């Protein structure tokens, strides 16, 4: 077994970008693999439901050109997790089309590629539902029904390390994963080379967001992880950043519902006994990460369905009289619009107001109720059709713009619009319809691998 394994993480999400100098610095340290996460559910269900990418094609291609060339020239594998953002078939194919374009343009010799699909057929989920093997992920998630599943555009599952290990064992030089548990592609490299599973998973947890665990932190810079037999070390490849015990430990808590328990496909990571120590040159060493395998292997299912359409308007308010009573005026405007459209059932649409500068972020939970001299406001209408959403939003905008609130000294000018047209038709609105755990016999059977050159 090698003394250590080095993994270069170029950025937090493929397409976010990174300084070329940082990437070159990382390559000088001779990594054994380049691994990058490309997806997240942080942006909500729209990308999954609408089959669109999380970044632009240009941004993704720009990053991939460097990664593929570096992998090829240094004879090391390149692994992409959650390709295209959500990891569904459309997202993976979008990523593959960019890869093919790069290989063609750069006349790179054929690479052995492994594509790991994560789409779960609905009939498979139906059968598991009948046996009670599909459960909600959290108290606020309803039980999955056949009707909800039928309305869902498609379902993906988060893969663990098992299919990625198989791809590495088969000698794949470029591995494109569908939806993956974020640390899995990183952990697979270490485990494939015989290193401790708990340390490998924990290091993957740190690396998957790029340099976000640094001081100062960002997802748009490179990180190196070095896995040893009894510990791992992480450090930024940009000398303007550094890792500290606080920054790395804080990132260990990132996106978790428990301080030191981290659950993944078929595993539980226990970080209660971890030790973080600074060893100089902006490096932090971590010891004590432990992992156990769960008696039942569960994978997280993700799916989205279209529920409505949205139109919105952004404007500004500077009249102190209107700012003081803006919530009152908004309720009056809403009532006026509802009365104007009695033919549209009131339960079929929503009219929402967001007052940025006055509880626009936290709403009623905001402890500081001091308003500034101006407000940024957004009017949003969600309705069953785009036509209805736009008609209602247009009425909200025009009613508010000319509403004669008490004390107003002019007959117009309630709202200042930053651009024209002011009304923006957003399009379809999606919700997570599948956010559940499903039992499976093992971590490989639902994630088929396709090899190609």
Does residue 409 register a pLDDT over 80? no
- Residue 66 CA, chain-centre distance (Å), reads 22
Mean pLDDT score, 59-67: 97
pLDDT value at residue 253: 83
Rounded Cα distance, 445 and 23, in Å: 36
Q: What share of the chain is helix, strand, coil (3-state, %, to 5)?
A: 30, 25, 40
With a pLDDT cut of 70, the percent of the chain lying above it is: 99
Q: Which residues neighbour 60 within 8 Å (Cβ) at sequence distance 6 or greater?
A: 14, 15, 38, 53, 95, 98
For 208-234, the pLDDT digits (tens) are 999 999 999 999 999 999 999 999 999
Rounded Cα distance, 171 and 184, in Å: 18
Mean pLDDT score, 162-180: 98
Does residue 257 register a pLDDT over 70? yes
Mean pLDDT score, 433-453: 96
For 375-401, the pLDDT digits (tens) are 999 999 999 999 999 999 999 999 999
Decide: residue 107, CB within 10 A, 0-12 exposed, 13-18 middle, 19+ buried: exposed
Q: Which residues neighbour 367 within 8 Å (Cβ) at sequence distance 6 or greater?
A: none
Mean pLDDT score, 154-175: 97
Q: Which strands sit side by side in the sheet containing 223-227, from one edge to the other?
A: 275-280, 283-287, 232-236, 223-227, 5-9, 33-37, 78-81, 174-177, 113-116, 449-452
For 245-255, the pLDDT digits (tens) are 999 999 988 77
Does residue 50 register a pLDDT over 90? yes
Contact 347, 308 (CB under 8 A): no
Average per-residue pLDDT in the chain? 94
Does residue 1 register a pLDDT over 70? no
Does residue 256 register a pLDDT over 80? no
Phi-psi region of 48 (alpha: psi -120 to 50; beta: other; left: phi over 0): alpha
């Amino acid at each position: 077994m090698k003394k250590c394994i080095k993994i270069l993480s170029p950025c937090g999400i493929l397409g976010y970008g990174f300084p070329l100098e940082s990437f070159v610095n990382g390559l000088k340290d001779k990594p054994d693999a380049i691994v990058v996460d490309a997806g997240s559910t942080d942006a909500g269900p729209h990308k999954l439901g609408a089959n669109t990418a999380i970044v632009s094609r240009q941004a993704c291609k720009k990053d991939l050109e460097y990664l593929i060339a570096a992998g090829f020239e240094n004879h090391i594998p390149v692994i992409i997790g959650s390709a295209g953002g959500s990891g569904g078939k459309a997202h993976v194919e979008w990523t593959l089309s960019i890869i093919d374009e790069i290989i063609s343009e750069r006349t790179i010799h054929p690479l052995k590629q492994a594509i790991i699909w994560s789409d779960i057929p609905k009939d498979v989920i139906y059968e598991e539902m009948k046996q009670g093997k599909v459960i909600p992920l959290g108290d606020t998630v309803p039980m999955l029904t056949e009707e909800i599943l039928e309305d869902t555009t498609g379902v993906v599952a988060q893969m663990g390390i098992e299919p990625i290990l198989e791809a590495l064992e088969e000698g794949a030089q470029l591995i494109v994963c569908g939806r993956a548990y974020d640390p899995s592609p990183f952990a697979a490299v270490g485990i494939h080379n015989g290193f401790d599973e708990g340390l490998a998973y924990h290091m993957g947890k740190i690396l998957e967001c790029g340099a976000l665990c640094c001081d100062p932190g960002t997802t748009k810079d490179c990180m190196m992880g070095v896995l040893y037999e009894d510990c791992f070390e992480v450090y930024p490849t940009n000398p303007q950043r550094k890792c500290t015990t606080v920054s790395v430990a804080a990132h260990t808590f990132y996106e978790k519902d428990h301080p030191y328990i981290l659950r993944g496909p078929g595993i539980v990571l226990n970080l209660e006994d971890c030790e973080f120590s600074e060893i100089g040159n902006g490096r932090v060493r971590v010891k004590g990460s432990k992992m156990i395998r769960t008696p039942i292997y569960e994978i997280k299912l993700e799916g989205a369905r279209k529920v409505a359409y949205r139109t919105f308007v952004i404007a500004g308010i500077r009249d102190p009289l209107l700012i003081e009573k803006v919530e009152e005026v908004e309720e009056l405007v809403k009532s006026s619009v509802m009365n104007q459209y009695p033919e549209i059932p009131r339960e079929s649409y929503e009219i929402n107001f967001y007052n940025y500068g006055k509880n626009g972020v936290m709403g009623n939970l905001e402890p500081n109720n001091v308003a500034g001299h101006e407000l940024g406001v957004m009017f949003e209408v969600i309705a069953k059709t785009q036509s209805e959403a736009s008609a209602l939003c247009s009425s909200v905008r025009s009613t508010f713009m000319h509403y004669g609130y008490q004390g107003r000294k002019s007959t117009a000018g309630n709202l200042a619009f930053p651009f024209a047209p002011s009304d923006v038709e957003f399009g379809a609105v999606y919700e997570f319809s599948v956010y559940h755990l499903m039992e499976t016999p093992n971590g490989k059977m639902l994630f088929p691998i396709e090899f190609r050159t």
